[in-house]
């Protein structure tokens, strides 16, 4: 789980502040890297949640779930810049949405372009992520 956070922080350090400068090919590489990053940690996250769902009385399951929830929060905080910077990029270069190279991501880009005027700052997004760990996400866990 430490590697999940470390990889997200490395991705952030490599791309934060640079997303708005990307062209279509650079944006495609960025989005593919983002997806690959998620796929590498998805299994760990799902395993911990499913283990807890199978038997929430086991101490190991509780410990793993809490560890993965904390790691997931830290990972999401590190990657909070992504949607914000993508929205800024799309505001300045709306033609990217229709670029054939990015056709696989067209729906995502359209959605971000619509959300752009309503986005919070990165610091505010990080606060929301922190709050949600023991707020809405905890309530969702109780309902599952």
Cβ atoms within 10 Å, residue 73 = 19
Task: Tell me which CATH code domain 2-143 carries.
Answer: 1.20.140.70
Both tokens of residue 28? Answer: 């495609």
Check residue 19 and report its DSSP letter: G
pTM: 0.87
Q: What is the pLDDT of residues 56-80, one digit of tens each?
A: 999 999 999 999 999 999 999 999 9
* pLDDT at residue 133 tops 90: no
The reported pLDDT for the residue numbered 144 is 65
Using DSSP, state whether 23 is helix, strand or coil. coil
28 vs 139, higher pLDDT = 28
Domain ranges of the chain: 2-143
**Phi and psi (nearest 5°) for 87?**
-65, -40
The Cα–Cα gap between 114 and 65 comes to 34
Structure tokens belonging to residue 123: 């610091």
């Amino acid at each position: 789980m430490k590697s999940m956070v470390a990889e997200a922080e490395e991705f952030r350090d490599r791309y934060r502040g640079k997303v708005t400068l990307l062209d279509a090919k650079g944006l495609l590489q960025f989005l593919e890297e983002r997806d690959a990053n998620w796929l590498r940690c998805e299994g760990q996250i799902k395993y911990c949640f499913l283990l807890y769902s199978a038997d929430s009385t086991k101490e190991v399951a509780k410990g793993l779930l809490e560890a993965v929830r904390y790691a997931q929060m830290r990972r999401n905080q590190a990657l909070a810049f992504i949607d914000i910077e993508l929205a800024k990029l799309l505001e300045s270069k709306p033609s990217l949405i229709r670029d054939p190279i990015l056709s696989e991501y067209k729906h995502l880009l359209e959605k971000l372009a619509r959300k752009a005027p309503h986005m919070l700052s990165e610091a505010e997004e990080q606060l929301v992520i922190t709050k949600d760990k023991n707020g809405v996400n905890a309530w969702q866990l109780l309902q599952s």
